């Protein structure tokens, strides 16, 4: 091969190498960055939006969504977006899913049953679950002990927002009476009623209990007990014996 042909071949090889280098440089610094960057989008802010509005905004930016956890937060209405990942302003690939955390509203608490408890204990039970005692009303007609809860505005077992207040009605209680209750246990119902009337008292409630070895209509127990001081006209609960028929067991005949 003569020198001219070798020179021509060398020129072609040089030109080809130079073209390859130029193409690689264009591919690396121009074509690939343009291709990559042309598919990138900036994540919009959807925190605080309703789920519907958040989805519309993500779709408009060529992004998908994924609904994750539910977080209870009183600062965000139920169903709104509490948090998002990635955060707003980040650059991501188009079509990427944005992780969304949905608000469940204010944290919930289960209302305890405080009826019949002292007001101080009721406060403790309420605060233990994140609730508070609201308005306290006095019931002067209740026969419950002083400062015991007669009723509550939110029923036991109800779910309400933590930090809410539950109104209570408490008994004012009765002052210590001047009449000492006599014992009527063992008396007949008729004699017990008469004796209570002599002391300015009355029979409030009668309950019957089966009693096999005691005459019917005999007082078995009384509430309040004897010796307790009450007010004139107060009623006493009596527990009265009730006849019970005793059946004798008949021995079985032994077969012969």
- Asked if the model's pLDDT at residue 152 lies above 90, the reply is yes
Q: What is the mean pLDDT of residues 202-215?
A: 88
Give every strand in the sheet of 219-223, ordered side by side.
202-210, 235-242, 219-223
Kindly state whether residue 20 falls inside one of the protein's structural domains: no
Is residue 89 a part of any domain in this protein? yes
Residue 188 forms part of a structural domain: yes
Which pLDDT value is given to residue 245? 65
Residue 85: CB atoms within 10 A of its CB come to 13
CB 79 within 8 A of CB 48: no
Neighbours of 166 (CB within 10 A): 21
CATH number, domain of 78, equals: 3.30.10.20
d(CA 80, CA 74): 11
Model confidence at 256: pLDDT above 60: no
Query: Mean pLDDT in the chain?
Result: 83
pLDDT, tens digit, for every residue of 97-141? 999 999 988 888 999 999 988 888 899 999 999 999 999 988 877
Q: Return d(Cα 248, Cα 74) in angstroms, integer.
A: 71
Q: Quick one: pLDDT at residue 116?
A: 87
Q: What is the pLDDT of residues 38-64, one digit of tens each?
A: 478 999 999 999 999 999 999 999 999
CA torsion sign for 67, 72, 78, 83 is negative
73: confidence class by pLDDT, cuts 50, 70, 90 = confident
Q: Is residue 12 part of a domain?
A: no
What's residue 32's pLDDT?
A: 58
Determine the 3-state secondary structure of 18 from DSSP: helix
Residue 1 within a domain: no
Q: Indicate the pTM of the whole model.
A: 0.42
Q: Please state the separation of Cα 43 from the chain's center in Å.
A: 36
| Secondary-structure breakdown of the chain: helix, strand, coil percentages, each rounded to the nearest 5 | 25, 30, 40
Task: Determine the structural domain holding residue 165 and report its residue range.
Answer: 108-171
Q: Is 117 contained in some domain?
A: yes
pLDDT of residue 213: 83
The b-or-e profile of 153-165 (16+ CB within 10 A means b, else e) is ebeeeeebeeebe
- In the chain, the N- to C-terminal Cα span, in Å, equals 139
* Domain end call among 148, 171, 194: 171
Among 120, 147, 171, give the residue marking a domain's end.
171
Quote the tokens at residue 199.
């002391």
> Is residue 31 domain-resident?
no
Which of 171, 192, 207 is the last residue in one of the domains? 171
Same domain for 61 and 99?
yes
Q: How many structural domains are present in the chain?
A: 3
Judge if 95 and 150 occupy the same domain.
no
Q: Do 122 and 163 belong to one domain? A: yes
pLDDT of residue 247: 52
Residue 189 belongs to a domain: yes
């Amino acid at each position: 091969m003569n020198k001219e042909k070798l020179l021509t071949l060398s020129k072609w090889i040089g030109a080809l190498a130079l073209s390859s280098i130029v193409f690689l440089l264009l591919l690396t610094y121009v074509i690939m960055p343009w291709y990559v960057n042309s598919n990138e989008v900036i994540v919009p802010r959807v925190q605080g939006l309703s789920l519907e509005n958040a989805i519309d905004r993500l779709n408009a930016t060529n992004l998908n969504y994924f609904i994750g956890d539910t977080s209870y937060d009183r600062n965000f209405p139920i169903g709104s977006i509490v948090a998002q990942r990635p955060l707003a302003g980040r650059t991501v690939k188009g079509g990427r899913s944005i992780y969304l955390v949905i608000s469940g509203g204010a944290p919930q608490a289960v209302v305890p049953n405080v009826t019949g408890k002292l007001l101080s204990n009721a406060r403790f039970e309420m605060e233990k679950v994140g609730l508070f005692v609201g308005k306290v009303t006095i019931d002067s007609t209740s026969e419950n002990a002083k400062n015991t809860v007669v009723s509550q505005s939110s029923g036991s077992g109800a779910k309400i927002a933590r930090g809410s207040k539950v109104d209570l009605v408490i008994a004012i209680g009765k002052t210590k009476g001047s009449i000492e209750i006599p014992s009527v246990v063992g008396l007949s119902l008729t004699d017990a009623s008469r004796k209570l009337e002599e002391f300015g008292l009355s029979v409030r409630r009668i309950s019957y209990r089966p009693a096999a070895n005691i005459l019917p209509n005999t007082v078995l127990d009384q509430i309040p007990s004897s010796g307790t001081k009450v007010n004139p006209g107060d009623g006493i609960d009596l527990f009265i014996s009730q006849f019970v028929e005793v059946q004798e067991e008949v021995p079985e005949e032994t077969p012969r």
